[in-house]
Every structure is written in C-alpha cells, then in structure tokens.
Amino acid sequence: MLHSRYDSILLQRVSFGAATLAGVISLGGLAFGALEAWPLWATGLAVVVPWIPVFVRDVASVYRQHQWLALFYVLVVTQTGHFLEHVAQMIQIHVLGLQGADARGIFGTLDIEWVHLTWNTWVILAVLVLLSHFGVNPWLRLTAILAGWHEVEHAYIFTIYLQTGMAGLPGLLAQGGGVAGGLPISRADLHFLYNLIETLPLVLSFFQQVRQAGATNHHQLASQRQSTPAQGRAPKA
C-alpha cells in the first residue's frame, strides 16, 4: 500500500516506455563517454540529461495535484544530486588517491565559492518556503537547522573570499578554520558530512509528506466511492 501511494503521487505521468528510453540513452552516454575518454563532466551530463524531460513532466504532474509538494520534490532530487557530487569527490580523494584539481567531483568546474554559496542559499530558501506549508514536519525543521548552519559556513567562506581573493579556505569548522582553529578534518570531508546530515532528514521529511498526501488521496477516493452508490440509488417508493 505504501509503495503504491508513492508511485501514484511521484510517477503519475511517467510511462514505462519513457523511463526505459531515458535509461537506455543514459547508459549509452555513460558507455560512449568511457570508451571515448570524454572529460568526466561531459560523461556526467550524458548520463543526467536524458532524465530531465522525465523529471520535468513528473514535477508538473505533482504540481497539478499537490502544488507545494512539487517544490519539495525538486529540492530533494537536486540536493541528492549535489550530495552524490560530494560522494564522487570522496571516492576521488580516499579511494583513488587524487588531489587538487583532480579531486573536485564530477562537475569540477562548478567547484567555486559563489556556486557553493548560491546552491546553499537555494536550499535554505526552499526549505523555509516549505516550512511555511509543512511546518509540522519534524524532519523538515531539522533540515532547516542543518541547512542554516551550512549556509552560515558558506557565507563566511564567501566573505573571506571577497576580501582576499583566496578560494578553498577552511571556513569555520574545517581544519584551520575560524572557530578555535577548526576540527581535525579537511574542508572536503567536512562538507561531505554537512551534505550527508542535511540530505538524510530532507529525504525523510519528503517521504513523510508524500505518505501523508497519499493517505489524503486514499481517504478522498474512499469517500467518493462511498458517496457514488448513494447518489445513484433510486429513492424508495
């Protein structure tokens, strides 16, 4: 029942054929990019782009039925993608032993301070908007606190960057940071953890909201089914 409720809300307009086609093109892009030794960012685009039309159509369908849940959906998908970029960077650093420009994730050209600040500003603003509609969701409130601190970190880093022109500084809590010298952890590792503890409650809050929307839909359908026979029944003589 729970699985069907998620499907009925999140996959209303996605046909099996469309999803299959997107998957085949995506895998083809991955294989072709690997064979042709494309830059990592180009292979990443080849994997992601085929899914964009599917995602956009699904978001539009969610919006027609549930309005603000569509924003929630977009936030969860995009932030999860951002978190996976940090996962890729962790693999580059700790598994492949890469450093510097070779350990900046899949889309390394976007690893610049104003992009980091802009991204985290989008996340905290979207969370605050969602709180105005789903404020009783405890996981969403936790996400707001964690995303708020993450935003403070990047605002501090960006301020120092504007003053000095130096990018990649530790911020507040990474090793060498502005709060008591920071923790014994690199900036890359710290921000991976930031995104991990920020994304987990965000995903949990989203599925809690989807479950509630599914329960509401189920209740409305049950009410309609009960009222329809009563309306169609002929009055007794």
Range 178-206 burial, b when 16+ CB lie within 10 A, else e: beeebbebebbbbbbebbeebbebbebbb
In the prediction, which pLDDT does 233 show?
Answer: 54
Residue 137, class by beta-carbon neighbours within 10 Å (0-12 exposed, 13-18 middle, 19+ buried)?
Answer: buried
Q: Give the global pTM.
A: 0.86
- When the pLDDT of each residue in the chain is averaged and rounded to a whole number, the result is 89
Domain boundaries defined on the chain: 1-61, 67-220
In tens, the pLDDT along 139-176 reads: 999 999 999 999 999 999 999 999 999 999 999 999 99
- Answer whether residue 52 shows pLDDT above 70: yes
In the prediction, which pLDDT does 2 show?
Answer: 46
- Tokens representing 195? 């995104």
Number of helical H runs and strand E runs in the chain: 8, 0
In the prediction, which pLDDT does 215 show?
Answer: 73
In tens, the pLDDT along 67-110 reads: 999 999 999 999 999 999 999 999 999 999 999 999 999 999 99
In the prediction, which pLDDT does 234 show?
Answer: 52
- Split at pLDDT 50, 70, 90, the class of 11 is low
- Tokens representing 229? 């026979």
In the prediction, which pLDDT does 12 show?
Answer: 58
